[in-house]
Amino acid sequence: MPIIEAIRTRTSNALMTEQDVDPDLIRQILDVAVCSPVHHKTDPWRFLVIRGEGRNNLGRVMADHLAREMEEPDSPKNVRFLGKIRKKAFRAPVIIVAGAAKSDKDQVLMCEDVATVSASCQNILLAAKALGLSAFWRTGGLTYSRDTVVSLGFEEGTELVGFIYLGHPKKQMPAKVRQTSEKFTRWMNE
């Protein structure tokens, strides 16, 4: 499939089977993830692949993150809610956590490395599509929490970019009708 068609027809698909993803496919996906452009050769990519029972730990991290923001995390209502949150880690057989490591090069801004890792996340989504897999990218408060970085074992100074859920599709999602760039673009010809 030509790359432009792949980009236009890629869509998030959260409907996945429980079937595990072959580790060789995951490696293939991550090998193209690190083909994103990178400023000053910082190699900021940091990935954590969570599978199997490792998802229990992610579920705990997710629930702990929300519990810290609650006034009464031990109330019956909140305990039930946090139980549902723990199960979100099981929406897919594989979760890839993508982060940007802090560069030791003074001239490199963290936003440049985050941009590189963001581009790598798009590569992951496109590679998953090319391999016939389902994938969707999630961010939110969990992603931007220092506690999450520490709990998941990333090195100090790492900025998480997102959680990519990966699996085999239960059904194929129809391609979305995409808008054009017209309303977002200005041209400066002189």
Condensed to tens digits (0 to 9), the pLDDT of residues 68-92 reads 989 999 999 999 999 999 999 999 9
Dihedral sign, Cα of residue 117, residue 122, residue 123, residue 129? positive
Say what the pLDDT of residue 61 is. 95
Per residue in 115-159, pLDDT (tens digit) is 999 999 999 999 999 999 999 999 999 999 999 999 999 999 999
Dihedral sign, Cα of residue 166, residue 168, residue 171, residue 176? positive
Ranges of each domain in the chain:
10-52+92-171
What is the distance between the alpha carbons of residues 121 and 33, in angstroms, rounded to a whole number?
A: 7
User: How far does Cα 58 stand from its chain's mean position?
Assistant: 13
**Looking at the DSSP assignment, which residues form a beta bridge with residue 45?**
100
What is the distance between the alpha carbons of residues 129 and 153, in angstroms, rounded to a whole number?
A: 29
Say what the pLDDT of residue 140 is. 93
Say what the pLDDT of residue 67 is. 94
Query: What is the pLDDT averaged over residues 153-171?
Result: 96
- At residue 174 the predicted structure's pLDDT band, cuts being 50, 70 and 90, is confident
Least confident of 34-38, 66-70, 84-88, 175-179: 175-179
Say what the pLDDT of residue 120 is. 97
User: For residue 93, what is the DSSP state?
Assistant: S
Share the mean pLDDT of the chain: 93
And the tokens for 27?
């490696």
Q: For residue 109, what are the CA distances in angstroms to 38, 41, 135?
A: 12, 13, 29
What is the distance between the alpha carbons of residues 149 and 33, in angstroms, rounded to a whole number?
A: 20
Least confident of 16-20, 39-43, 120-124: 39-43
pLDDT of residue 1 exceeding 80: no
Residue type at 146 in one-letter notation: R
The C-alpha R_g of the chain, in whole angstroms, comes to 18
pLDDT of residue 3 exceeding 90: no
Say what the pLDDT of residue 104 is. 83
pLDDT of residue 26 exceeding 80: yes
Burial 61-93 (b: 16+ CB within 10 A, else e): bbbbbebeeeeeeeeeebeeebeebbebbebbb
Q: Count how many Cα atoms sit within 13 Å of the Cα of residue 39 in the half-sphere of its side chain.
A: 18
Domain 10-52+92-171 carries which CATH code? 3.40.109.10
Q: pTM for this one? A: 0.93
